[in-house]
Amino acid sequence: MPAVRCVDVSKTYRQGELEVRGLDHVSLEIEEGGFVCLSAPSGGGKTTLLNAIGGLHRIDSGEIWIGDRRIDGLGKAEMATMRLHTIGFVFQAYNLIPVLSARENVEFVMEVQGVAAEERRGRSTQILEEVGLEGLEERRPAKMSGGQQQRVAVARAIASRPALVLADEPTANLDSHTAEKLMGLFVELNTRHRTTFVIATHDQRVMKHARRIVRMLDGRVVEDGDREAA
């Protein structure tokens, strides 16, 4: 069974007086344990598709399935539960909670999931060290650089061990060394735990790790193949 299945998905939105087609009859299957990059120029539809898969955008038509569950018709509470237990997000805007420390941001989802305090502490310590933030665990977002905040957002997304991670430009604001270390962590999680990764990016540092690249233009899939073929 695919981890993600999109069937003839379309989405329009307004930009001023214009109606823009963000997704134009997109059909796509992503295998369980896949490591897929969505590549497109700005406005090409990659972020819109990522948000639709995560249930953050309502689609106009079509179907979206996560595993064996169709999600495009779920209510807010049902979708929130699905995201809590199944999906990890890495947002381009970080979306960290400003009054919480890096550690508390990472532990937040696990706490809502009901993970015991000792296990939360252990996981957060390990994952913050893995993303290069050892020693900054108690620092709040306002006292961190953009790159450091991005790494907290990544740590939060993967600490709860979701089956599916959706990442929007996860290497934005990261230097080459940190970006490579982050991608190594993603690859390890993908290999060891069969975590499915869907990453919207135009960064070649990310794309070189993908096993499959889906290229989009004007809301449509124009090319879909393994990295070597792409």
Q: Which tens digits make up the pLDDT trace of 71-113? A: 999 999 999 998 888 999 988 778 899 999 999 999 998 999 9
What is the mean pLDDT of the segment spanning 49-63? 94
Looking at this protein, which amino acid is placed at residue 47? T
E strands, the chain, in order = 4-15, 18-30, 35-39, 61-66, 69-70, 87-90, 164-168, 196-200, 212-217, 220-226
pLDDT reading at 227 higher than 80 = no
pLDDT reading at 229 higher than 50 = no
Q: How far apart are CA 195 and CA 85, in angstroms?
A: 13
Structure tokens of 200?
């919207």
Question: What does pTM read for this prediction?
Answer: 0.89
What is the mean pLDDT of the segment spanning 147-172? 89
Q: Is the CB of residue 198 less than 8 Å from the CB of residue 54?
A: no
Structure tokens of 70?
């169709």
Q: Worst-scoring range by mean pLDDT, 60-64, 84-88, 202-206, 223-227?
A: 223-227
DSSP-derived 3-state class of residue 89: strand
Structure tokens of 98?
């400003």
Please, what are the domains in the chain? 4-226 (3.40.50.300)
